[in-house]
Amino acid sequence: MSGPNTDYDPVEVTPLHAEEVERTRDEALTAFTEAADLAALQEAKVTYLGDKSPIVLANREIGALPPQARKEAGQRIGAARKAINEGFTSRLAVLEAAHEEQLLATERVDVTLPWHTPQLGARHPLSLISEQVADVFTALGWDVAEGPEVEAEWLNFDALNFQPDHPARQMQDTFFVEPAGSGKVLRTHTSPVQARSMLTRKPPIYVICPGRVFRTDELDATHTPVFYQVEGLVVDEGITLAHLKGTLDHFVVSMFGEGLEARLRPNFFPFTEPSAEVDLLCFVCRGASVGNPDRPCRTCGSEGWIEWGGCGVVNPRVLQANGIDTDRYSGFAFGMGLERTLMFRNGVEDMRDMVEGDVRFSRQFGMEI
Amino acid sequence: MRVPLSWLREYADLPDGVTGREVAEQLIRAGLEVETVEESDLTGPLVVGKVLTYENEPQKNGKTIRWCSLDIGKDEPQWVVCGAHNFEVGDLVVVVLPGAVLPGGFAISARKTYGHVSNGMICSSAELGLGDDGMHGIVVLEAGEATPGDDAIELLALRDDVLDIAVTPDRGYCLSIRGVAREAATAYGVELKDPADLALDGSGSGGYPVRVEDSEACSVFVTRTVTGIDAKALSPRWMQKRLLASGMRPISIGVDVTNYVMLELGQPIHGYDKGQLSGEIVVRRANAGEKLVTLDDQTRELDTEDLLITDDSGAIGVAGVMGGASTEISDATTDVVIEAAHFDPIVIARASRRHKLSSEASRRFEREVDPLLPRYAAQRVADLLAEYAGGTILPDETVVDTHPAPAPVNLRADHAARVAGAPITLEETVRHLESVGCTVEAAAADATAAPLAAGVHAPVLAAVGTTTVGTANVQADDLLTVTPPSWRPDLRDPNDFAEEAIRLFGFDNVPSILPAAPGGQGLTVSQKRRRRVATALVGAGLTEVVSYPFTGEADFDAMGLPADDNRRTTVKLVNPLSDEEPSMQTMLLATLLRTAERNVGRGATDLAIFQTGLVFLPKAETKPAPLPSVAHRPSDAEIQSLYDALPDQPLHIGVVLTGSLTPTGWWGKGRPAGWADAVQIGRVIASAVGAEPVVKNVELAPWHPGRCAEFSVDGKVVGHAGELHPKVCQAFGLPVRSSAVELDLDALIAAGPESIAAHPFSSYPVAKEDVALIVAADVAAADVQAALAEGAGELLESVRLFDVYTGEQIGEGKKSLAFALRFRAPDRTLKENEVADARQAAVQVAVDRFNAVQRVG
Ligand SMILES: [Zn+2]
């Protein structure tokens, strides 16, 4: 059927008339545009681009034309086919996009629903605060030193200038290890770690010692027989009380915020001479509550300062007992209770919450304090 | 030490109008720990009333009240209801009137009670804020002490602030008004009127015969004798009031006077009924088997170390701790022998501990009392007895005194500045030392500094200047000879003197300098790995808790530990908190399971908790820890024996899982936590520190005998994980099939790598093969997997168990294990026959080792 048809005048072949080609093209484009969905578009495609479609059929007629007319007719049909194809693909893109959008809309979920894989757990805040303290001091170049909890009495007391019958030693409410006279105790403070540091390291010594300690107190809202301390020790040439103050000021700012400072009040500890209590400027009211009944402060009890720990210049007798050359070196030390720190820093009201191991206590902190 | 401000003012010339709170602030700056300031919130009207009439009116509640009329200096009598009965018509009492506020904020108004309108009330000692005077009733004044209508606040000095001071062990002298007044006078720069500055009228000899056998323990012993006292006389009201305010109950004139002088001067006093003494007083150590009935009517067995006061009848007192009952001053006493002595602090401290007797006297002697005080204190007691009990003071006096004079100490003139790192001038140093009572002199030309003097170098010392001491001009590097006052036995070392100068210079005035540490290396490997473990477990949903490390038989029984289990061998405490828990934990689960129990009991049934902590493992042979000298560093051998004497204390980590790991929810049914979760957590812990544990089945309490995994690294067992034994769950009140982990974290951390070397990995395609093997049911999957890996050779990239099947198809006592094998070569695409050969080699090892049969289809 593809041979030239000699039965009719080629000029009169209707499908190849310019007007007819344009009409067919426009009809197809309209049909595509009007196709409401992919199925309708597919149907229109068969009608206007399928094997039996006017444009395909018209194309076949080209062969029947005299050679001189073929070129022009071919160009005309080709342009129309191109336009119809483009009309189809652009409409297809539109309808596909609409279809996908509709499909995704049906897949909407409630993202507030819970899921069954475990939530993040939580650290105990005493661990977190120990680590925070360690980080403050390692940033200064200090080491974190540790030691055992069952400790030699000599390291817990004698090496620190707590003489056997001195009231200071009796005030420590010590747990003794069997048999009586074993020379072993549950450490009453982390200070034996300082003694160990002096015995095993050579100056300069810059160590921070967080750890668990023991006293024979009954558990109540403000006391616990098992608690955590952090102590710091520096032994170096030319160390003075001024260096202790500088270190405590830095520590206070690191833990409680800019603009805060430590205050020292004379006190007595066998380990240090001179000795002082460390107070910190109340980080909540910054002293504004003092003498100001309209603005009471719960954190400091409107005292303006919060009692935080003890400190002092290491007693040269302690350096001597631990083999440090007192002609060359001096030192300072300080110590704080971590439970107490948490109590006023984070508003923990009852010591028992910190030691009973109730998961709800840890969980309210997560991984931050 | 409770210090009424009025008493303090008597000896320190404080500025008019300063309050207790202001004085407290100054004392705190000077280093005294003022714990509380009790400020009187009392306001009047509070007046003296005279009882005109009263009616006893029995009430339905069984009480009898008195309806009283009182003369309070007005035209009309005042009518009040009173519950007390210790007064008669004509007595003078203290009446609070409507509109007044009593201590504690109790506002008084006219009120209807027991059928009358009571216009105020008659006050007891406690209601007036004076403490319990032991009268069990209202305060009855002495006849003629006042007239009706007088202001009782002024009369009784009721509005007095009281400072409560916690005296540190080095400040024994502050256990007295005298000591606190000295600090207050220094703080305010005002004059101190030393209450011990008394005229002595004793002759220095001829007093009651005394022999001191142990002059080390008793270096001073003074007696005075007062005759003809009226022991029933009441101590004056001002004295009672001060005793009450200081926390002591007035008892009788004899006792009150000795207590009063002790509070005022700090010197404990003992009074003997002279009529009950027989023969010479001898101060000596106790003989074996000696006994004494003390003032509290307890019979005490004496120790040969106890220092005793004795007479011909035997012991009449434990020196410095408590007197005996037989020579006690009673109502019938007429002649009194006053003892004021100085005892060695350690002797008293030990006796006080031995007899569990901490008295006002022993607390002072333990902190050492001024050795120059006894004669003055005895004089003061005698004076007061003469004045208020009508006694006659005999001039005869016993004075035994072998106490050495305080030792002078040489120190650099700029020592305080060097310790502080602050420009404390030499002039200030000398002035401050003198103000605490030291004598300061320029040292002799050949003097050397006391030991421990050197070593502290301040960066800036140019500002200390020079000063004049006596006639000598003193420079920074000159030595001073400083003699402490008799009441400061704590001042022994150069740093002790430095502290005095620095605290008076003001700690606030010391500069703040952050010292530069040499570069550090941050946390140790172990410290970092511990943090990683905790972070990994929190990521897995576990919550960290803490527990006390105390345990006992009940915990071991609950965990089902066999009788001979070595975990029952513990480090025990001499004085545990509870007799039921005398041991330190040998495993964390002993205490962690109790913590789990508490949480489950509080409703947290789905629990995933962990804890790290030391466990305490006694050594096979326990030795006492030595107590080497503190004069110098112990020898290396001594230090080693200190360390060796201690138990092993490795750091463990424990985990307890109860209830569901996944709750039931909209996604479907929940999943209980089980043995496999516990074992997996063990693996997570190990991989967080880079350790590669080997896991195998074992039987061990407290775990289920068939569901316990033993973890080991490098052939060493490092812990266990798995499901808890049903009986253990029951004993700890945990849900069934709870599980637990306990691992030696130190050992795991030590097994981690030093560093990790990277391996290249291939980009050629992977060849996957599955293998199913039928083996006996008791063969461990891990072992079969290891066999496959061993047989497969170098081309094997990974092997993973993906299915376990038991059932009829494969027969009784057998199981089928399905593994996915992945092969890959580093340098080429593997050929089919290479892969087939490797697979066959892998299977062959499993066949040879476990009689495995390949399951086909
Ligand atoms: Zn505040």
* Chain B residues inside the 8 Å CB shell of A155: 642
pLDDT at A236 over 60: yes
Count of domains for chain A: 2
How far apart are the CA of A293 and the centre of ligand 1, in A?
12
Judge if A138 and A102 occupy the same domain: no
Residue B706's closest CA among B674, B683, B681? B674
Cα(A304) to centroid(ligand 1), Å: 5
- Measured between beta carbons, the chain B residues lying within 8 angstroms of A360 are 604
Alpha helices in chain A (DSSP H): 18-34, 38-49, 54-61, 67-106, 125-138, 153-156, 167-170, 191-200, 241-256, 316-321, 338-346, 351-355, 359-363
In a domain, A2, yes or no: no
- Cβ of A149 and B496 within 8 Å? no
Q: Per mean pLDDT, which of A258-267, B294-303, B429-438 is the most reliable?
A: B429-438
Q: How far apart are CA B523 and CA A135, in angstroms?
A: 9
Give B555 to chain A, closest Cα distance, Å. 17
Of B376, B32, B380, B363, nearest to B174 by C-alpha is B32
Known binding site for Mg(2+): residues of B? 490, 496, 499-500
Question: What are A342's two structure tokens?
Answer: 């948490």
- Residue B574 pLDDT > 90: yes
Query: Is the pLDDT score of B316 beyond 80?
Result: yes
pLDDT at A172 over 90: no
* CA-based nearest residue to B120, from B214, B46, B208: B46
* pLDDT 10s digits, B781-828: 999 999 999 999 999 999 999 999 998 888 899 999 999 999 999 999
CB contact under 8 A, A121 and B543: yes
* pLDDT averaged over every residue in chain B: 91
Which SS3 state, helix, strand or coil, does residue B586 take? coil
**A117/B507 Cβ within 8 A:** no
- A95 and A243 assigned to the same domain: no
**What share of chain B in percent tops pLDDT 70?**
98
Inter-chain contact B513–A159, Cβ cutoff 8 Å?
Answer: no
Same domain as A341, residue A263: yes
Which token pair is B448? 């050397």
Percent of chain B with pLDDT over 90: 68
Band of pLDDT at residue B453, cut at 50, 70 and 90:
low
Looking at the structure, do residues A243 and A203 belong to the same domain, yes or no? yes
A73 and A144 share a domain? no
pLDDT at B150 (0 to 100): 86
CA A170 and chain centroid, separation:
45
Separation of alpha carbons B479 and B708, rounded Å:
73
> Does a structural domain hold residue A368?
no
Q: Which residue(s) pair with A281 in the sheet?
A: A305
pLDDT digits (tens, 9 = 90+) for B60-119: 888 888 888 888 888 888 888 888 888 888 888 888 888 888 877 788 888 888 888 888
Residue pair B673/B542 in contact (Cβ under 8 Å)? The answer is no
Question: Are A85 and A225 part of one and the same domain?
Answer: no
Contact between residue B7 and residue B193 where contact means Cβ atoms under 8 Å apart: no
- Average pLDDT of the segment spanning B507-530: 94
Residue B84, token pair as written in the block: 């007390």
Residue A367's alpha-carbon distances to A123, A128, B103, in angstroms, are 6, 7, 48
DSSP 8-state assignment for residue B422: S
pLDDT of res. A82? 93
Q: How far apart are CA B432 and CA B482, in angstroms?
A: 12
Q: A172 with A272, same domain?
A: yes
Say which range, B145-154, B629-638, B757-766, B782-791, has the weakest mean pLDDT: B145-154
The two tokens of residue B749 are 């951390």
Interchain proximity B598–A113, CB inside 8 Å: no
User: Per mean pLDDT, which range of A146-150, A161-165, B194-198, B415-419 is the poorest?
Assistant: A161-165
Q: Do A118 and B353 touch (CB under 8 A)?
A: no
The CA–CA distances, whole Å, from B225 to B379, B669, B761 equal: 10, 93, 102
Phi, psi of B223 (to 5 degrees): -130, 145
CA of B361 to the centre of ligand 1 (A): 40
- Quick one: closest CA in A to B366, which residue? A167
Residue A114 lies in a domain: no
| A369 within a domain of the structure (yes/no) | no
CA of A289 to the centre of ligand 1 (A): 6
Residues A16 and A66 in one domain: yes
Write the single-letter amino acid at B666: W
Q: Evaluate whether A88 touches A34 at the Cβ level (below 8 Å).
A: no
Find chain B residues with C-beta within 8 A of A212's C-beta: 613
Residues A141 and A47 occupy one common structural domain? no
Question: Residue A1 domain-assigned?
Answer: no
Rg of chain B over Cα atoms, rounded to whole angstroms, equals 41
If you classify domain B525-615+650-750 with CATH, what class do you get? alpha beta
pLDDT band at A1 (very low <50, low <70, confident <90, very high): very low
| Mutation for testing the A interface, residue in B546, B594, B664 having most A CBs under 10 Å | B546
Q: CA-CA distance, B136 to B261, in Å (whole number)?
A: 26
Question: What is the distance between the alpha carbons of residues A215 and A223, in angstroms, rounded to a whole number?
Answer: 10
Give the burial string for B485-519 (b: 16+ CB within 10 Å, else e): bbbbbbbbbbbbbbbbbbbbbebeebbbbebebee
Task: Please choose, from the candidates B599, B736, B602, B606, the residue with its C-alpha nearest in 3D space to the C-alpha of residue B670.
Answer: B606
Q: Please tell me the CATH code under which domain B210-401 is placed.
A: 3.50.40.10
The whole-number pLDDT of residue B472 equals 85
- Which structural domain, as residue segments, surrounds residue A39? 10-106
How does residue B290 score in pLDDT terms, banded at 50, 70 and 90?
A: very high
| Contact between chains at A274 and B541 (C-beta distance less than 8 A) | no
Shortest distance between the Cα of A214 and any Cα of chain B, in A, equals 10
Same domain for A212 and A89: no
Q: How far is the CA of A306 from the centre of ligand 1 (A)?
A: 8
Give yes or no: residues A149 and A259 share one domain. yes
Judged by CB atoms closer than 8 Å, whether chains meet at A152 and B512 is answered as no
β-strands B716-724, B739-744: how paired? antiparallel
Q: Is residue A111 part of a domain?
A: no
Give the distance (Å) from ligand 1 centre to CA of residue B306.
50
Query: Backbone dihedral region of A111: left (phi > 0), alpha (psi from -120 to 50 degrees) or beta?
Result: alpha
pTM of the model: 0.84
Contact between A360 and B604 using a beta-carbon 8 Å cutoff: yes
B361-364: list long-range contacts, CB under 8 Å, 24+ apart.
Answer: B361/B262, B361/B268, B361/B270, B361/B320, B361/B321, B361/B322, B362/B320, B362/B321, B362/B322, B363/B175, B364/B172, B364/B175, B364/B176, B364/B262, B364/B266, B364/B267, B364/B268
pLDDT of A184 > 80? The answer is yes
Domain B46-155 CATH assignment equals 3.40.50.720: no
Cα–Cα dist A78/B436, whole Å: 117
* End-of-domain residue from the set A71, A106, A141: A106
B675 CA: distance to closest CA in chain A (Å): 17
A93 and A155 belong to one structural domain? no
Q: Which value, to the nearest 10 degrees, does the dihedral of the CA atoms of residues A69, A75, A76, A79 take?
A: 170
Residue B455's pLDDT band, with cuts at 50, 70 and 90, is low
In a domain, A72, yes or no: yes
Sole residue written with tokens 């750890």:
A211
Q: What CATH number is attached to the domain comprising A170? A: 3.30.930.10
The CA distance from B647 to B618, in Å, is 5
Burial classification of residue B187, based on how many CB atoms lie within 10 Å of its CB (0-12 exposed, 13-18 middle, 19 or more buried): buried
Alpha-carbon distance B263 to A314, whole Å?
34
pLDDT by residue (tens digit) across A100-113? 999 999 999 999 99
Q: Best of B27, B365, B544, B639 to disrupt the A interface by mutation (most A CBs within 10 Å)? A: B544
The burial class, CB within 10 Å (0-12 / 13-18 / 19+), for B40 is middle
Q: One-letter amino acid identity for A6?
A: T
Q: How far is A345 from chain B (nearest CA, A)?
A: 20
How confident is the model over B582-592, as pLDDT tens digits? 999 999 999 99
Q: Which residues of B touch A154 (CB under 8 A)?
A: 625-628, 634, 642
Output the pLDDT for position B234. Answer: 84
Select from B455, B663, B666 the Cβ nearest to the Cβ of A328. Answer: B455
CATH 3.30.70.380 given to domain B767-854: yes
pLDDT in tens, B256-285: 999 999 999 999 999 999 999 999 999 999
Task: Give yes or no for residue B131 having a pLDDT over 70.
Answer: no
Give CA–CA dist B585/B568, Å, rounded.
9
Residue spans of the domains in chain B: they are: 2-40+161-188, 46-155, 210-401, 409-509, 525-615+650-750, 767-854
Domain B2-40+161-188 classification at class level: alpha beta
Q: Is the pLDDT of residue A70 over 90?
A: no
Q: Which two tokens stand for residue B503?
A: 């605290």
Domain boundary among A49, A72, A106: A106
Residue B237 is predicted with a pLDDT of 78
CA dihedral A58, A61, A63, A66 (to 10 degrees): -110
Is residue B31's pLDDT more than 90?
Answer: no
Q: From the list A142, A216, A241, which residue is nearest B510 (CB)?
A: A241
Q: A296 CA distance to ligand 1 centroid (A)?
A: 8
Cross-strand partners of B282: B211, B310
A116 contacts in chain B (CB < 8 Å)? 662-663, 665, 667, 670-671
Distance separating alpha carbons of residues B138 and B117, to the nearest angstrom? 20
Look at B29 and A265 and tell me if their CB atoms are within 8 Å. yes
Q: Nearest Cα to A190, choosing from A222, A149, A159? A: A149
Task: Annotate B425-477 with three-state secondary structure.
Answer: CHHHHHHHHHHCCCEEEECCCCCCCCCCCCCCCCCCCHHHCCEEECCEEECCC
> What would the pLDDT profile of B521-572 be if each residue is shown by its tens digit?
999 999 999 999 999 999 999 999 999 999 999 999 999 999 999 999 999 9
Q: What is the DSSP string of B603-654?
A: T--SEEEEEEEE--B--SS--PPP---SSSPPPHHHHHHHHHTSPB--EEEE
pLDDT bin (cut points 50, 70, 90) of residue B456 is low
Out of A74, A106, A138, a domain closes at A106
Q: How far apart are the first and last CA of chain A?
A: 90
Helix/strand/coil (H/E/C) assignment for every residue in B58-89:
ECCCCCEEEEEEEECCCCCCEEEEECCCCCCC
Phi and psi, residue A139, nearest 5°: -65, -25
For A300-339, how does the pLDDT look when each residue is reduced to its tens digit (9 = 90+)?
A: 888 888 899 999 999 999 999 999 999 899 999 999 999 9
Higher pLDDT, B100 or B179: B179
